[in-house]
A and B are shown apart, each in its own frame.
Chain A
Amino acid sequence: DIVMTQSPDSLAVSLGERATINCKSSQSVLYSSNKKNYLAWYQQKPGQPPKLLMYWASTRESGVPDRFTGSGSGTDFTLTISSLQAEDVAVYYCQQYYSTPRLTFGGGTKVEIK
C-alpha cells in the first residue's frame, strides 16, 4: 500500500497568516500517461464529516475558497491556506487514489488559531 505521511501533526497560525500542510507519498502518485497526480485533500471540522477540498492535487472543488491552494507532484504535495480564517480551524487529510482499490489517507494535520 502507498503510505501517506503528513507534516506537521498540528500547527497554530495567526488569523490572516499563511498555513502550510505537507503530504508525502511512499511512491509516486503521478500517472505518466495523463500527467495527473492522483491526490485529494479533505477538510474535517470538529464534529463534522470530511469535506472534499481538492482533487488531482490542485483542482479546487466547487465552492472552495481560493485561499486554499494545492500544489506538488510525484511524491511531495502541499496544501496552503493563504490567509487563515477562523472557519478554517479543522483537521486536513490528504488521500491518494493512484493505487486503487487500496485507497489510503494521511494521518491528518490539525490547524488551530494562534
Chain B
Amino acid sequence: QVQLVESGGGVVQPGGFLRLSCAASGFTFSSHGLHWVRQAPGKGLEWLAFLRYDGSNENYADSVRGRFTISRDNAKNTLYLQMNSLRAEDTAVYYCAKEGIRGAGPTYMDAWGKGTKVTVSS
C-alpha cells in the first residue's frame, strides 16, 4: 500500500533553515505529483506546494513562495521541502501527500504521511 514517511523536522531559530524529506513507497513514484501541506498547532490545514511527477511546474502558496522550495528525486523515491528564512508562524506539522488525479496538477490528495514537526523558536 501507499506509504509516505516524512523526516527532517526539528527545532530551528527564526531566520534559520531546514530540509524536510518524504520517502515514498507502494506506488510508482515517478508517475505522481506530490504536495506539502502543513498544520499549525490546534489549527486547520494549509496547502503549501505541489510538484508534478516529472519535477516540472512548481506551485506555491503565497505564504511560502520565495522562502520554500519543493523538489524531488525520482531515483530515490523522495520528495523534499527546503525551508529558508523560517519564521515563528511556520511552526507546524508538515505533511506530504500524493496527488489524487494522476497528471492533473494540484487537485485533491489521496494519501498522506504521518507528518514531521517543525518548531521555529529562539
Contact = CB atoms under 8 A, between A and B. Distances in A.
B69 to A, nearest CB: 15
Contacts of A107: 44
Contacts of B110: 52, 55, 61
Contact of A50 (B45, B105, B106): B45
A55 B104 CA distance: 14
Contacts of B60: 101
Given A40-B100, A49-B114, A104 B109 contact: no
A65 to B, nearest CB: 17
A29 B45 CA distance: 19
Q: Which of A97, A103, A108 has the most CB of B within 10 A?
A: A103
B46 A105 contact: yes
A50 B112 contact: yes
Interface size classification for chain A = 20 to 34
Nearest to A48: B114
B59 interface: yes
A106 interface: yes
Given A50-B45, A105-B44, A108-B44, A55 B59 contact: no
Majority-rule SS of A interface residues: loop
A49 B115 contact: yes
B105 A106 contact: no
A97 to B, nearest CB: 4
A40 B108 contact: yes
Contacts of A49: 95, 112-115
Nearest to A93: B45
Interface in A42-91: 42, 44, 48-52, 55, 61
Interface of B: 35, 37, 44-47, 50, 59-61, 95, 100, 105-115
